[in-house]
Copies of this chain bind each other. A is one copy, B any other.
Amino acid sequence: MEVSSFPALVAGPGTLTRAASFFKHNNVSNLFLLSDPFIQNSGLLEPLHKACENENITITSFSDFSGEPKLEKMTQIIEIARAHNCDGVLGVGGGSALDMAKIVSITLVADRPADDYWMMATPLPPKSLPSIMVPTTAGTGSESCSTNIISNRDGHKGWIWGPETKPDLIIHDPDLSVSLPPQLTGWCGMDAFIHAFEASTNRYAHNSARGYGHQALKLITKALPRAVADGSDLEARQEMLLGSAWAGAAIDQVGTAVAHHISHAMASLAPIHHGHATAIGFEITLDWIVKGITDPIAIEKFESIAQTLNVDGYKNLPQFVSNFMDECQIERRLPANFSDFDKQALVEQLLADHTQSMRLATSREVTEEAIKEIVDNLSNLPVM
């Protein structure tokens, strides 16, 4: 069992400004701030700017991006950060913003372009710049993860991987999450829930991953329905941020399983929110998994989740999850761009090389027949 470290963490309303004293303490004078465009324009960063001004830290802000990270964008970002002699990195936003900021924190002082580290083609240089990651959506768990999703110049989705990209400090400031709308809150939260569930039950799940996973499940089942129902519930937002970071640590150790397999394959066909696709993929396969596992080791993993969630036996987990998704107002409909989607194309994506690790990690064997059934079930879902 090998586990990379869980970063230091500061949590609480208004704690974003603590970034200024951290960077000051670490002798940063030119901070590179990569944030979601929405955050950048929201006024939420004002207290941070003031705190940095008080510490004589200059900020170079960047938020000129949309969608998922791309290598060509990284070249542009790193040029800007170098031009301003940045010596510290702060990421504020969802998974894409944090993944990009994490890549900047390592490649800014590297003598190679970010391209060279794609799919681990070259070992990463050691971490040398202080960095802080501040998630504003509780979902991806990027802040506690070694994986950074990024597409290469041919548009292929891949990653830059390494514990070196983890931040020195995570800040969980729930003030930054309150404006996330209920639908996105639910989708992102389900992503975190499924990270924790799959990492606690897949073939590689071990005591350490299960430890983080179970605690995440406990927090998320308590907090997500409240965060969806009332976005201004700071306690629920705070708990979702911690649950999501723990779920990130769980997948960092043992990866995911078939729900993420489905979600990645669907995203190759047409745009769909990652958390939404994952939630749908999870619900349509969980009952099939639970009915089909016979290995006592696999059964114990599901049974212990049932115990953690106070569910009467693991065979009732699918019903529990469906009720939970109801509570979190997750729509069981596909986006309009999936009306009459190409079933054969989705089957091919589910059999494509780059998605097989998630398929193979699943506790029940995902046969080709099962894949066809999954695709049939997806095609029977109503469209938004």
Q: Which residues of A contact B (CB under 8 A)?
A: 1-12, 163, 207-208, 211-212, 214-215, 218-219, 238-239, 242, 246, 307-308, 310
Contacts and interface: CB of A to CB of B under 8 A. Distances in A.
Contacts of A208: 9, 11, 242
Given A8-B163, A211-B246, 7 more contacts: A1-B11, A2-B8, A3-B10, A3-B11, A5-B5, A211-B242, A307-B310
Nearest to A213: B215
Contacts of A207: 219, 238-239, 242
13 contacts: A1-B10, A1-B12, A2-B10, A2-B11, A3-B8, A3-B10, A5-B6, A5-B8, A207-B239, A208-B242, A211-B246, A212-B215, A215-B215
Copies of the polypeptide in the assembly: 2
A2 B18 CA distance: 11
A314 B164 CA distance: 43
A5 to B, nearest CB: 4
Q: Which of A214, A215, A242 has the most CB of B within 10 A?
A: A215
Contacts of A310: 307
Contact of A9 (B1, B9, B242): B1
Contacts of A212: 211, 215
A96 to B, nearest CB: 24
Contacts of A218: 214
Given A3-B9, A5-B6, A6-B6, A215 B219 contact: no
A268 B9 CA distance: 35
Contacts of A12: 1
A1 B245 CA distance: 15
A6 B207 CA distance: 15
A7 B5 contact: yes
A363 to B, nearest CB: 20
A161 to B, nearest CB: 15
Contacts of A242: 207-208, 211
A8 B4 contact: yes
Contacts of A214: 215, 218
Contacts of A10: 1-3
A296 to B, nearest CB: 15
A246 B246 CA distance: 14
A214 B9 CA distance: 19
A8 B308 CA distance: 26
Q: Which of A163, A207, A242 has the most CB of B within 10 A?
A: A207
A268 to B, nearest CB: 33
A229 to B, nearest CB: 20
